[in-house]
């Protein structure tokens, strides 16, 4: 048995298709005629652009979005700037100049300490290889005709490969390299295709036609399994499908406890292409649109028009269902290269999110105007991240008023009643929730950050992962205090941090009266199921009990017992 990192759950059984990429040796030579080499570059780049455009036209919505982002990179002038310089100044042959020039950009991207952005380097590498293949007239793999029940085995599945494959025929994917946030990983999770990454030399270990079984949760890979092993995995696969079917009943179900307490179960999204899943899993709304992904996905600041189109798309698709657009939450672990943010010793405590927007009013206003303009197409709300003092909320609202005035002057329509809320993700805001509740329309508790700031334990640091827990009594008290303050002041309170989808934690949140639970779309059905099996009165007792505990261990133990009972 081989083992890798499982990044998309499920059992995949099928026949292996091993995609081997030829190793291409790139020769360096000096050229005579610069114009000829520049022309070769132009022709091959244009041909890659044309192919991508044709592929995009034939693609479904989700792939279209991915290919649009890919085209944006392809059409960005800076992509081949260095290559051109190497041809013009150093008189290097085109293929070699492409290899060198683009490698420089790839390395720069890879060095960005943000997993999501650094993984875009793979797209640039893919583009580089396609241009080189064109220059050397090498045929690319034909992936359009793949047989049903195929397990793809590859060094890396690139964005352009992914767009060509009919995913319906794929039962699993194994790759040697790849990240959790690469496009293919995101698609695999959305389409519920089991996927395993980081398996060394996988293309040498599996042959075309081998029968392969993979477990996308544990990362286990069996090649030509025994009859017993196969029977075991077929049983697991059947159970998996039965569970999915059972959960399917909760699509469009109202999330109401046995004693009639009704809540909303909404989606967290990062891109408009996530809408497909929002609709598929029957979300009651969008509790969080992390707009920073619009900024991170683009080589330069998205324009007001580009942002408007994205927000409008959300509004139109969600119709009257509330969709909360969070303003840019850059900084911390989300770097955006073209903002040229200074390196800080403590980025999580630094110049980020609302602090950065209030210091860059033009950037902030472009976003606010785009959201306002889109607000007439559905039911949008605006939410400010990382508010720590009341002045920030007041200033942000003031800037919003200025944007409304600018639109009024130009007779541009927007929803004048648009709701304005804030994240509660800093302990200072949770403690002062009463004050904030008087000046906004809703709260959404961001437990991901609230936990790290309350316990002073960084959210991604594995060495202190034992400290970083939602079960810390201080975190529970801050959540309770926030929900109570919201209700006392007649506003609703949601939660968009990861804790909202945890089935052991949900009873506690129901007991506190949380109004909206926002999570990854794929967690919605399970959350709705959990909620419908609860009794609010019993959950309220659980809250009283848990508030007496002094350690996270006691809380954890009790929450486990409660859900089992
Ligand atoms: C949070 O902090 O809980 C949250 C939802 O925001 P993000 O994870 O984007 O910081
Ligand atoms: Mg946060």
Q: Give the tens place of pLDDT for each residue, 413-427.
A: 999 999 999 999 999
Distance CA 323, CA 311 (A): 9
Q: Best mutation site among 269, 425, 470 for ligand 1, i.e. most ligand atoms within 8 A of its Cβ?
A: 425
191-217 pLDDT per residue, tens: 889 999 999 999 999 999 999 999 999
Q: Which of 94, 183, 440, 539 is catalytic?
A: 183
- Per-residue confidence at 490, pLDDT binned at 50, 70, 90? very high
For the segment 81-85, the average pLDDT, to the nearest whole number, is 91
Residue 188 pLDDT greater than 90, yes or no:
no
Q: Best mutation site among 331, 333, 385 for ligand 1, i.e. most ligand atoms within 8 A of its Cβ?
A: 385
Strand partners, 424: 445
- pTM of full prediction above 0.85: no
User: Which pLDDT score, from 0 to 100, does residue 475 have?
Assistant: 98
User: Which pLDDT score, from 0 to 100, does residue 22 have?
Assistant: 67
Distance CA 421, CA 427 (A): 17
User: Which pLDDT score, from 0 to 100, does residue 23 have?
Assistant: 67
User: Which pLDDT score, from 0 to 100, does residue 397 have?
Assistant: 98
Q: Which DSSP symbol is given to 385?
A: S
Give distance in angstroms: CA of 497 to centre of ligand 1.
5
Q: Which of 23-27, 406-410, 551-555 has the lowest mean pLDDT?
A: 23-27
Give distance in angstroms: CA of 424 to centre of ligand 2.
9
Q: Which of 22-26, 191-195, 455-459 has the lowest mean pLDDT?
A: 22-26
Distance CA 288, CA 400 (A): 19
* Nearest ligand to the CA atom of 451: 1
Q: Are strands 262-269 and 255-256 parallel, antiparallel or unpaired?
A: antiparallel
Is the fold of 2-21+142-228 the same as that of 248-564? no
Taken in order 545, 547, 548, 552, the sign of the CA dihedral is: positive
CATH number of 2-21+142-228: 3.50.30.10
Residue 392 pLDDT greater than 90, yes or no:
yes
Higher-confidence position of 56 and 560: 560
User: Which pLDDT score, from 0 to 100, does residue 154 have?
Assistant: 93
- 74 by Cβ neighbours in 10 Å (0-12 / 13-18 / 19+) ranks as buried
- Per-residue confidence at 20, pLDDT binned at 50, 70, 90? confident
Separation in Å, CA 560 to CA 96, 396, 518, 537: 60, 41, 22, 18
User: Which pLDDT score, from 0 to 100, does residue 67 have?
Assistant: 81
For the segment 365-382, the average pLDDT, to the nearest whole number, is 98
Residue 164 pLDDT greater than 90, yes or no:
no
Give distance in angstroms: CA of 449 to centre of ligand 1.
6
Q: Look up 440 and say whether it is catalytic.
A: no
Give distance in angstroms: CA of 450 to centre of ligand 2.
8
- 307 by Cβ neighbours in 10 Å (0-12 / 13-18 / 19+) ranks as buried
Class level of CATH domain 248-564: alpha beta
- Nearest CA, atom 6, ligand 1: 446
219-252 pLDDT per residue, tens: 999 999 999 999 999 999 999 889 888 999 999 8
User: Which pLDDT score, from 0 to 100, does residue 237 have?
Assistant: 93
- Nearest CA, atom 1, ligand 1: 446
Q: Which of 94, 403, 493, 496 is catalytic?
A: 496
Q: Which DSSP symbol is given to 334?
A: B
What is the maximum alpha-carbon separation in the chain?
83
* 3-state SS assignment for residue 21: coil
Domain 34-136 part of CATH 3.30.70.1070: no
306-361 pLDDT per residue, tens: 999 999 999 999 999 999 999 999 987 777 888 888 889 998 999 999 999 999 99
**So where are the chain's domains?**
2-21+142-228, 34-136, 248-564
Residue 21 pLDDT greater than 90, yes or no:
no
User: Which pLDDT score, from 0 to 100, does residue 515 have?
Assistant: 98
For the segment 297-307, the average pLDDT, to the nearest whole number, is 90
User: Which pLDDT score, from 0 to 100, does residue 426 have?
Assistant: 98
- 363 by Cβ neighbours in 10 Å (0-12 / 13-18 / 19+) ranks as middle
User: Which pLDDT score, from 0 to 100, does residue 139 have?
Assistant: 74
Distance CA 501, CA 496 (A): 9
User: Which pLDDT score, from 0 to 100, does residue 249 have?
Assistant: 92
For the segment 394-408, the average pLDDT, to the nearest whole number, is 98
- Please, what is the end-to-end C-alpha distance for the chain in angstroms? 37
Asked if 518 and 268 count as a contact pair (C-beta separation under 8 A), the reply is yes
Q: Look up 539 and say whether it is catalytic.
A: no
Residue 412 pLDDT greater than 90, yes or no:
yes
- CA-based nearest residue to 105, from 135, 88, 84, 134: 84
- Nearest CA, atom 7, ligand 1: 448
Give distance in angstroms: CA of 446 to centre of ligand 1.
5
User: Which pLDDT score, from 0 to 100, does residue 182 have?
Assistant: 74
User: What tokens were used for 382?
Assistant: 């605006």
Q: What are phi and psi of 340, to 5 degrees?
A: 45, 50
* Mean pLDDT score of the chain: 92
For the segment 481-494, the average pLDDT, to the nearest whole number, is 98
Instruction: State the closest ligand 1 atom to the C-alpha of 446, by its place in the atom list counted from 1.
Output: 3
Distance CA 385, CA 444 (A): 9
User: What tokens were used for 212?
Assistant: 């392969």
Asked if 341 and 351 count as a contact pair (C-beta separation under 8 A), the reply is yes
User: Which pLDDT score, from 0 to 100, does residue 105 have?
Assistant: 86
- 341 by Cβ neighbours in 10 Å (0-12 / 13-18 / 19+) ranks as middle
User: With pLDDT > 70 as the criterion, what percentage of the chain qualifies?
Assistant: 98
Which residues, judged by CB distance below 6 Å to any ligand atom, belong to the binding site of ligand 1? 288, 290, 329, 425, 446-449, 496-497
Instruction: State the closest ligand 1 atom to the C-alpha of 496, by its place in the atom list counted from 1.
Output: 5
User: Which pLDDT score, from 0 to 100, does residue 70 have?
Assistant: 82
- Nearest CA, atom 3, ligand 1: 446
Q: Which of 32-46, 137-151, 290-304 has the lowest mean pLDDT?
A: 137-151
């Amino acid at each position: 048995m081989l083992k890798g990192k499982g990044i998309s759950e499920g059992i995949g059984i099928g026949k292996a298709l091993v995609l081997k990429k030829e190793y291409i040796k790139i020769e360096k030579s000096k050229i005579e005629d610069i114009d000829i080499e520049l022309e070769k570059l132009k022709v091959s780049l244009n041909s890659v652009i044309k192919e991508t455009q044709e592929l995009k036209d034939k693609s479904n919505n989700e792939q279209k979005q991915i290919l649009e982002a890919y085209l944006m990179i392809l059409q960005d002038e800076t992509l081949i700037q260095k290559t051109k310089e190497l041809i013009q100044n150093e008189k290097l042959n085109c293929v070699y100049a492409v290899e060198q020039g683009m490698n420089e950009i790839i390395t720069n991207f890879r060095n960005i300490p943000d997993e999501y952005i650094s993984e875009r380097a793979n797209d640039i590498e893919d583009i580089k290889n396609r241009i080189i293949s064109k220059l050397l007239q090498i045929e690319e793999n034909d992936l359009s005709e793949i047989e049903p029940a195929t397990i793809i085995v590859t060094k890396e599945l690139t964005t352009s490969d992914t767009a060509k494959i009919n995913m319906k025929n794929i039962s699993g994917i194994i790759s040697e390299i790849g990240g959790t946030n690469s496009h293919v990983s995101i698609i695999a999770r959305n389409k519920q295709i089991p996927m395993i990454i980081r398996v060394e030399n996988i293309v040498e270990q599996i042959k075309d036609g081998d029968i392969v079984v993979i477990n996308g949760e544990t990362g286990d890979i069996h090649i030509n399994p025994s009859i017993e092993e196969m029977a075991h995995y077929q049983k697991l696969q059947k159970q998996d499908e039965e569970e999915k079917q059972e959960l399917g009943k909760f699509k469009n179900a109202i999330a109401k406890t046995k004693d009639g307490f009704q809540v909303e179960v909404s989606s967290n999204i990062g891109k408009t292409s996530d809408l497909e899943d929002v609709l598929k899993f029957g979300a009651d709304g969008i509790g969080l649109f992390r707009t920073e992904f619009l900024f991170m996905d683009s080589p330069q600041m998205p324009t007001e028009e580009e942002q408007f189109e994205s927000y409008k798309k959300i509004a139109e698709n969600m119709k009257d269902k509330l969709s909360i657009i969070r303003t840019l939450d850059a900084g911390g672990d989300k770097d955006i290269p073209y903002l040229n943010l200074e390196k800080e010793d403590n980025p999580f405590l630094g110049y980020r999110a609302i602090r950065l927007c209030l210091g860059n009013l033009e950037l902030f206003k472009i976003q606010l105007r785009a959201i306002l303009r889109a607000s007439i197409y559905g039911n949008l709300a605006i939410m400010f991240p990382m508010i720590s003092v009341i002045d920030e909320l007041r200033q942000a609202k003031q800037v919003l008023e200025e944007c409304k005035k600018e639109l009024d002057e130009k007779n541009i329509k927007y929803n004048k009643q648009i709701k304005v809320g804030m994240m509660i993700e800093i302990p200072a805001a949770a403690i002062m929730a009463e004050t904030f509740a008087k000046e906004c329309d809703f709260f959404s508790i961001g437990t991901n950050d609230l936990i790290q700031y309350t316990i002073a334990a960084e959210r991604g640091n594995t060495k202190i992962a034992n400290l970083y827990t939602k079960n810390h009594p201080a975190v529970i008290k801050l959540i309770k205090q926030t929900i109570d303050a919201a209700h006392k002041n007649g506003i609703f309170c949601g939660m968009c941090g990861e804790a909202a989808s945890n089935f052991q934690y949900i009873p506690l949140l129901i007991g506190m009266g949380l109004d909206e639970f926002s999570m990854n779309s794929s967690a919605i059905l399970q959350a709705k199921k959990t909620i419908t099996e609860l009794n609010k009165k019993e959950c309220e007792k659980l809250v009283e009990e848990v508030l007496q505990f002094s350690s996270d261990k006691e809380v954890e133990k009790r929450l486990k017992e409660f859900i089992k009972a």
